[in-house]
Amino acid sequence: MPTIEVNYEDLQELVGKHIPLDVLQEEGIMYAKGEVDEIEGETLKLDMKDTNRPDLWSAEGIARELQGRYAGITGLPEYNVQPSGLVVKVDRKLKNIRPLTVCAVVKNLNINHNALSQMIQLQEKISMTFGRNRKEVAIGVYDFHKIKGPIRFTSVKPNGIRFVPLEFTKPMTPEEILKKHPKGREYAHLLEGFHEYPIFIDSAGEVLSLPPIINSNHTGKVTTATRDVFIECSGFDFRLLMPALNTIVAALADRGGEVQSVKVEYGSRTVVTPDMKPGKTSLDIDYANMISGLNLDARKMSMLLKQARYDAKVRGKKIDLLYPAYRQDIMHQRDIVEDLIISYGFGRAEPVIPKIQTAGGVSRLQKLTDTAAEVMTGMQFQEIMSYMLTNKGALFEKMGMPKGSVVEIENTVSANWSVFRDRLLPGLLEFLSKNKHREYPQRIFESGDVVIPDSKAETGAVDRRHLSAAASGSGVGYEYMAGVLNAFMKNIGTDFSLKASNYPSFIEGRCAEITVSEKVIGIIGEIHPKVLNMWGIENPVVAFELDIEKAFTSAS
């Protein structure tokens, strides 16, 4: 969770009303989904609880939420965008390097110390948390008066150009920056393996930045004397880049800046950014009351949502809503209900004791899982835990598998976390790929849920509990893992057999299906060298994966 710092007086100026410090501590910051961790003089250190709301990671964003509750400024924040005339031309060479950018210009700013610190902090927090440490989103802010348009977003050879990086005095090549500059060494892995590096450069030949690494010291140094800024966000997915840019732009507009758009040209296609048009959705009143446990009429509900900075209009049993362009987290009615309850006040909601009696206990499936884990740890395998969300590249391309059907996330925030895993083995291989520097042999396992598409199920999918184990090292092979599987099955009291099989992820002739009562419950084999190369794993890997419930079917 991001931790930010804001100045108390600056926050009050942005809200437009004095809020006592004790009120801010006990109630106010909670409206912005945060808590006050510490107070040092005028500085408030805040722990922000929502990683999907980058708009709340600055004094400006918090002030918007407080305005709706304390200053009587409710409804949708409006941002007027005028054309700047600036053009950014994106080179096709960036397709496999860092292909996308969105940009904006904000003019007539009065950048004092507080405004500058908040701009830098917001830029860093978005890039680190929302942008996955600059991999998905990297942000550059520049002194617009030092730039001559049009700007080119292109690529150069590692030694193809020289410029002075931020806070340095000596010109360096991109390759030298990655080796010698502190930021270059920290983020060099993001450009590893590329023969050319991305770069922003203006028509006068002045380098703006080497994204996602470092700005130039000439154009990329913003101070309290700066009045007009150019902003760019680079990455791989517009669904991340747009809200990141909109968040920065909205914060600067709240400081009195005048927002101007930029034409970003991708060959014959032109994208005009920022797009500050609000999103549209609606809320079913009965559904909101059912989920929240409240009993609010349409007028009250509409008022509370306006305090949360929605534009709300009642239409029969629904409320039509507009929400700000920087809100990318509105995916379902429940997201709106959450804002509704926050406005109402969690502390005001009366708890209701459920009219049912239940007895707590460990489920049968969990008992089986615990037993399986105990057996594997007894054989000196280390347990790991990986995310249920992954991507098709990890499930199919890196596993040498043809693309299959998986459960996908609609309106996903990141392409890297866009589908539910349908097996555990890719997660184990990813773990091994990131631990190549550790001692061998390595023996790991994971027990966890996978999601399988099922058209007969009410939700179109079913959860299954799997167990997967992998061993890596120079001395491991099919026979070793078959022995591990045999020991596992004996320990849980299940009879099984192996049937030779072909599976794209495994070496042909070194793979078998695991069967119990003539039903296939899993797979075992040696991972194919092509798959190991895809993951960057240098040592052989042997693995198995099975369905835990099915494995215990004939257990005595």
Please classify residue 59 by burial: count the beta carbons closer than 10 Å to its beta carbon, then call 0-12 exposed, 13-18 middle and 19+ buried: buried
The mean pLDDT of 244-269, rounded to a whole number, is 96
Higher pLDDT, 359 or 276: 276
Q: How high does pLDDT run on average in the chain?
A: 93
Whether the predicted pLDDT of 288 surpasses 90: yes
Higher pLDDT, 76 or 438: 76
Considering the domain boundaries, does residue 85 fall inside one?
yes
Per-residue pLDDT, 130: 87
> For the domain that residue 9 is a member of, what is the CATH number?
3.30.56.10
Q: What residues form DSSP beta bridges with 154?
A: 199
Both 410 and 507 in one domain: the answer is yes
Whether the predicted pLDDT of 478 surpasses 50: yes
Per-residue pLDDT, 456: 86
Write down which residue in 290, 315, 344 finishes a domain. 344
Number of separate domains in the chain: 4
Higher pLDDT, 476 or 59: 59
Write down which residue in 225, 254, 273 finishes a domain. 273
Per-residue pLDDT, 457: 85
Considering the domain boundaries, does residue 351 fall inside one?
no
The mean pLDDT of 69-78, rounded to a whole number, is 94
Considering the domain boundaries, does residue 354 fall inside one?
no
Both 450 and 477 in one domain: the answer is yes
Considering the domain boundaries, does residue 335 fall inside one?
yes
Q: Which two tokens stand for residue 289?
A: 């009351």
Please, are residues 285 and 319 in contact by the beta-carbon 8 Å criterion?
yes
Per-residue pLDDT, 23: 92
Both 227 and 254 in one domain: the answer is yes
Higher pLDDT, 348 or 225: 225
Both 162 and 291 in one domain: the answer is no
The mean pLDDT of 325-340, rounded to a whole number, is 93
Both 384 and 326 in one domain: the answer is no
Write down which residue in 300, 315, 344 finishes a domain. 344
Whether the predicted pLDDT of 232 surpasses 60: yes
User: Mind listing the pLDDT tens digit for each residue in 417-457?
Assistant: 889 999 999 999 999 999 988 888 999 999 999 999 988 88
Tell me how far apart the alpha carbons of residues 443 and 469 are, in angstroms, rounded to a whole number: 8
State what percent of residues in the chain have pLDDT above 70.
99
Per-residue pLDDT, 555: 52
Both 287 and 417 in one domain: the answer is no
Both 64 and 97 in one domain: the answer is no
Please, are residues 5 and 44 in contact by the beta-carbon 8 Å criterion?
yes
Which residues constitute the domain of residue 504?
364-551
Whether the predicted pLDDT of 556 surpasses 50: no
Using pLDDT thresholds of 50, 70 and 90, give the confidence band for residue 416. confident
DSSP 155-200: EE-TTS--B-BTT--S-B-HHHHHHHSHHHHHHGGGGTT-SSEEEE
Whether the predicted pLDDT of 238 surpasses 80: yes
Sole residue written with tokens 């924040």: 77
Considering the domain boundaries, does residue 359 fall inside one?
no
Please tell me whether residue 144 adopts helix, strand or coil conformation: helix
Both 498 and 535 in one domain: the answer is yes
Considering the domain boundaries, does residue 61 fall inside one?
yes
Both 428 and 499 in one domain: the answer is yes
Both 392 and 262 in one domain: the answer is no
Least confident of 9-13, 130-134, 407-411: 407-411
Per-residue pLDDT, 554: 60
Both 467 and 546 in one domain: the answer is yes
User: Mind listing the pLDDT tens digit for each residue in 387-406?
Assistant: 999 999 999 999 999 988 89
Both 394 and 510 in one domain: the answer is yes
